[in-house]
Amino acid sequence: MKGSEAIVASLKAAGVDTIFGLPGGVVIPLYDALYDSDIRHYLVRHEQGAAHMADGYARATGKTGVCIATSGPGATNLVTGIANAYMDSSPMVAITGQVRSGLIGTDAFQEADITGITQPIVKHSYLIKDAKEIPRVFKEAFYIASTGRPGPVVIDIPADCQLDEIDYSQPEKIQLLGYKPTLKGNMKQIKAAAKLILSAERPVLYVGGGIVNSGAHKELAELARLLNIPVTTTLMGIGSFPETDKLSLGMLGMHGTGYANYAVTHSDLLIGVGVRFDDRVTGKLETFASGAKKIHIDIDPAEISKNIGIDVPIVGDARGILGELVRELKKARPGKTATRAWNKQVSDWKKKHPLSYEEGESDIAPQHVVEEIYRVTRGNAIICTEVGQNQMWSALFYKHTKPRHFITSGGLGTMGFGFPASIGAKVGQPRKTVIDIAGDGSFQMTIQELATAVNYNIPVVVAILNNQYLGMVRQWQELFWGKRYSNTCIECQPDFARVAEAYGALGMTITDKKDIADAVSTAIKAKKPAVLDFRVRQDENVFPMVPAGKSITEMIGGHK
Amino acid sequence: MKHTLSVLVENKPGVLSRIAGLFARRGFNIDSLAVGITENPDVSRMTITVDGKDHPIEQVTKQLHKLINVIKITDLDPKRTVARELALVKVKSDAHSRGEIMQIAEIFRANILDVGRKTITLEITGTYEKINAIEQLLEPHGIVEIVRTGRIAIERGAK
Ligand SMILES: Cc1ncc(C[n+]2csc(CCOP(=O)(O)OP(=O)(O)O)c2C)c(N)n1
Ligand SMILES: [Mg+2]
């Protein structure tokens, strides 16, 4: 068969039934092979959209997302999406066309060295030199993308390799000499961790995206409830522990809750699981949980002691390790009394420093929109976000209870991610209500994907918290730059409702707070893509806030 | 402290660039790097000398391990390792100084590769320190060019 047919056969062998992409000269053979296949291909309007859709699809389903772009500009348009998947450890295979083998290195038309360009932002990459490599490379790529710490893999395929004839057969085994992720935790270390946990008086579980990736939420809840250990999540960990639980502290860090930041700071044992001690979480490292012993469970050994010293490191898959840890702890038949005083303290902090905002008469507080979305969806929707204030309010004012139901660009902070990600999530979870809580700035970065959503009737809801500002930057200017609002006002903007209608989606503008809930339920029931333009208070800030580089208890605003 | 990392990698295109890129991106400095094939043609060995001063060596090796093409990394223990480097040195010399340079060469067991009207070229193998020492002695004569391979190293004994 032809190389292009071998690609399709390899994709099917990897279990792929959904792809996002946009064709061009050198991938015409591949698209020709797709034409006859039953793989559903979603044609996007910009390749960045394809990458984010594949990413959103992966996060909502746990399966590896796949996107395709042509050589040169098509491939470079994927770059932001690949970097985004890399930073958030999302499994993705990005397929790019390349100029004919003989032309590589000659600055041929639409030639870009995409494996070179993406080298720092991929888990691995391949430049296929011979069509015979196709079955092996695809098998390896999907294996690498989805195992260990997941991440994006790029496969660059020259046009001639798509045309060459090969004898296709699926390789039976994968042989990667240099890739053997550690999954099982070391029992000695697990026992050492159990010992620390049993003797702790003020323990805190600090958990992140690793819980979601490994599907360890049940084991996490079991561990927390066994000894009544309060749980705080990172932005990426949101949904891995129900925020309706009395042990939940919500998110920690720069825009974390006051009580999460106090609890971590005063803890005597910090149990980090699937986290990476990112600067947005720790603030000033020297004061981050400085009185606490630290356990760190992560699948990536390079994360251990990267930013902060660890007393008991355990490398491996969170789910298995937490399961073993619970078994180990149960042997000691622990009571819950050890943490009683600590939980009392935590609940005092919760009462003293609740999240809050001012409600207006009829004007719309952006936080209120998020709360109304929670109320209308009963917390069952998949929430995607853009980046900025909208993202933080979505994290803070919606009570997240399920893993894979909060999809946000954490590590890279990519404006324009949320909307295409929501399309990918809806494709992967068609029965779920999927809502992108957006900023007016971010939405304009990938707004053209409205055509994709309408084209395939993918009924996602975009709820714009329209403050007519690049709000998060404006907030920094207000607080730290003497209110000099340099280039953050974006009042010049389209009428989003009419733009939506022009694309064939539903569009609504909401200016009174009493209309929020109705608009949200109308949009959900519309059974077609919908854009809700909430004209929110323009000068609202995200509080509490820890200024960059300060200790996480040095919060301003939002708490007393 | 200087570390000598002996890194086995798959002999595939782009591997050197992945490794060099990783060092640059993470801010690790490479002092020297030597690459060659091994007894197995599918596997190459890189000998990389790095300074552990600015970055804990553990971070360097862990990050290297994340590269799919990296098979094995050994942080060679200097006490149990023999390390060598090869240098080619071209020195100015005339009839007058030739004798002294040849004497230096003899002491250091350097080979004389080429004798010209105005220069002599020597080949020296040895430790990093030995090569520095001969370089110093030759300096007053005027070094025209020096080419060094970077360090390669192997563990002593049966291992
Ligand atoms: C692609 C990209 N460019 C720039 C930024 C820097 N940035 C972070 S938040 C933000 C403002 C986002 O504005 P908007 O989408 O309206 O969200 P808001 O903060 O107003 O809710 C900007 C410009 C970014 N994160 N991503
Ligand atoms: Mg805005």
Q: What is the DSSP string of A168-208?
A: ----SS---TT-----SPPHHHHHHHHHHHHH-SSEEEEE-
Q: How many domains does chain B have?
A: 2
CB A257 within 8 A of CB A355: yes
B140 and B89 within one domain:
yes
Output phi, psi for B91, to 5 deg: -115, 145
Q: Smallest Cβ distance to A120: which of B25, B65, B72?
A: B25
B88 and B71 within one domain:
no
**Cα–Cα–Cα angle for B46, B52, B54, nearest 5°?**
125
> Cβ contacts (< 8 Å) between B10 and chain A: which residues?
177-178
B145 and B129 within one domain:
yes
Give the ipTM. 0.90
B67 and B13 within one domain:
yes
**Residue in chain A nearest B60 by alpha carbon:** A302
Instruction: Starting from the CA of residue A370, give the closest ligand.
Output: 1
Chain B nearest-CA distance from A301, in A, is 7
* Per-residue pLDDT, A342: 98
CB contact under 8 A, A178 and B68: yes
Contact A471 CB / ligand 1 (< 6 Å): yes
Q: Which domain holds residue B125?
A: 82-155
CB contact under 8 A, B66 and A302: yes
Q: What CATH number has the domain bearing residue B129? A: 3.30.70.1150
Contact A410 CB / ligand 1 (< 6 Å): no
B64 and B15 within one domain:
yes
Which residue's alpha carbon is at the smallest distance from atom 2 of ligand 1?
A415
CA distance B54 to B136: 28
Query: Burial letters for A17-28: b for 16+ Cβ neighbours within 10 Å, e otherwise?
Result: ebbbbbbbebbe
Which residue's alpha carbon is at the smallest distance from atom 20 of ligand 1?
A471
* Per-residue pLDDT, A560: 41
- Bond before A544 cis per omega within 30 degrees: yes
Chain A nearest-CA distance from B96, in A, is 52
The rounded Å distance from CA A376 to ligand 2 centre is: 23
Mutation for B interface: A136, A177, A299, A307, most B CBs within 10 A? A177
B91 and B72 within one domain:
no
Q: Smallest Cβ distance to A178: which of B25, B59, B69?
A: B69
B56 and B26 within one domain:
yes
Does B24 reach chain A within 8 Å, measured CB to CB? no
The rounded Å distance from CA B50 to ligand 1 centre is: 39
Contact A467 CB / ligand 1 (< 6 Å): yes
**For ligand 1, mutation pick of A462, A472, A479, A533 (most atoms within 8 Å of CB):** A472
B149 and B103 within one domain:
yes
* Per-residue pLDDT, A166: 97
The rounded Å distance from CA A390 to ligand 2 centre is: 7
Last residue of a domain, one of B21, B44, B76: B76
**Which residues is B46 bridged to in the sheet?**
B7, B35
Contact A26 CB / ligand 1 (< 6 Å): no
Residues of chain B with pLDDT under 70: 159
Closest by alpha carbon to B94, among B102, B86, B105, B85? B102
Helices B15-25 + B57-66 axis angle, to 10: 140
Closest by alpha carbon to A278, among A337, A197, A364, A210? A210
CB contact under 8 A, A119 and B17: yes
H or E stretch covering A28: helix A28-35
CB A416 within 8 A of CB A386: yes
pTM, to two decimals: 0.96
Contact A79 CB / ligand 1 (< 6 Å): no
Contact A48 CB / ligand 1 (< 6 Å): no
Q: Smallest Cβ distance to B71: which of A115, A177, A305?
A: A177
* Per-residue pLDDT, B123: 97
Please report, in tens digits, the pLDDT of each residue of chain A (560 residues total): 999 999 999 999 999 999 999 999 999 999 999 999 999 999 999 999 999 999 999 999 999 999 999 999 999 999 999 999 999 999 999 999 999 999 999 999 999 999 999 999 999 999 999 999 999 999 999 999 999 999 999 999 999 999 999 999 999 999 999 999 999 999 999 999 999 999 999 999 999 999 999 999 999 999 999 999 999 999 999 999 999 999 999 999 999 999 999 999 999 999 999 999 999 999 999 999 999 999 999 999 999 999 999 999 999 999 999 999 999 999 998 888 899 999 999 999 999 999 999 988 889 999 999 999 999 999 999 999 999 999 999 999 999 999 999 999 999 999 999 999 999 999 999 999 999 999 999 999 999 999 999 999 999 999 999 999 999 999 999 999 999 999 999 999 999 999 999 999 999 999 999 999 999 999 999 999 999 999 999 999 999 999 999 999 999 986 44
The rounded Å distance from CA A385 to ligand 1 centre is: 11
B72 and B41 within one domain:
yes
Last residue of a domain, one of B76, B93, B125: B76
How many CB atoms within 10 Å of residue B109? 11
Last residue of a domain, one of B34, B60, B76: B76
* Per-residue pLDDT, A559: 47
Sketch out chain A's domains with CATH numbers: 3-163 (3.40.50.970), 187-352 (3.40.50.1220), 366-535 (3.40.50.970)
B87 and B63 within one domain:
no
Instruction: Starting from the CA of residue A444, give the closest ligand.
Output: 1
Return the number of CB contacts < 8 Å for A and B: 39
B72 and B112 within one domain:
no
B2-10 and B43-51 as β-strands: parallel, antiparallel, unpaired?
antiparallel
B68 and B102 within one domain:
no
| DSSP class of A373 | H
